Structure 1
């Protein structure tokens, strides 16, 4: 009887446990050995990307690409903490948005401190979140990009 109850309990929990490994596969990776410098929210060793930040070292300009979702163009309002900026957004290949931000702008500084960046283009809203465990990579990215 106990083995049957254990099996039923395991099956009841199985869908929750099955979803966790797929989500756990997403991570933030900093590629700084090559040019450009890239910080990617990805599933390693696949083509699955949610977000990339790219820059030429010393340029002080980060190119943000948000993959998936609607492709839009126009002026984007970008916020992090109490800081805000406006940037021109373009459609990204394969769907999504791309825009450029200065790494020395207060909005990027707030992003590095808190790990959350919101992008709004018209009615479209997207958020980039870097967990605390990966904030050092975001700060290192900004350091490498800054001129």
Structure 2
């Protein structure tokens, strides 16, 4: 490993950054859609739900914020209470039948504002099918 890093340094290159991806775990209880570096503990965000509950729990890692959160997607707006989650994270709850979640599932773009901290949640086009499947599995 050290030799590879040294060779990259000598060549004037840096080692590639870890590949972040969205992964759907549909057979788990709860259903989970995770923005992660596979096979590591690195997470940016997770969406979890109990199948058929119509309630998604969004956890944002790296922002220990509490208070009221303003969630936007497209022209839709929702308010939710931001609560602390394990470690350095914030958790919110959002109904999958709310217009904000529908706009998020359509575009893959959502913004969460807690206090003065804004966190975008972006699902690239190539992973939108996973987000839509998550919504289907969660909706009651």
Q: TM-score, normalising length from structure 1?
A: 0.85
Structure 2: state its 5+ residue gaps: 1-9
Q: 2:37 aligns with which of 35, 40, 43?
A: 43
Shift of 1:95: 1.1
- Matched residue, 2:115: 122
- 3-state DSSP of counterpart to 2:40: coil
Task: Tell me what 1:99 maps to.
Answer: 92
SS in 2 for 1:137: helix
For 2:103 and 2:93, the matched residues in 1 are separated by 16
Match of 1:52 among 11, 31, 46: 46
| RMSD (CA atoms) | 1.3
- Greater share of residues in helix: 1
Alpha-carbon distance in 1 for matches of 2:117, 2:86 = 17
CA-CA distance at 1:125 after TM superposition: 1.0
Q: Computing the radius of gyration over CA atoms, which structure comes out larger, 1 or 2?
A: 1
CA shift for structure 1 position 22: 1.9
Inter-partner Cα distance in structure 2 for 1:104 and 1:129? 19
Question: Aligned pair 1:108/2:98, yes or no?
Answer: no
Report the secondary structure of 2:17's partner residue: helix
Partner of 1:11: 11
Which 4+ stretches in 1 moved above 4 angstroms?
A: none
Structure-2 separation of matches of 1:50 and 1:123: 19
1:30-76 deviation digits (Å, cap 9, x = unpaired): 0011210000001111111110000000000000000013x111110
- Does 1:22 pair with 2:17? yes
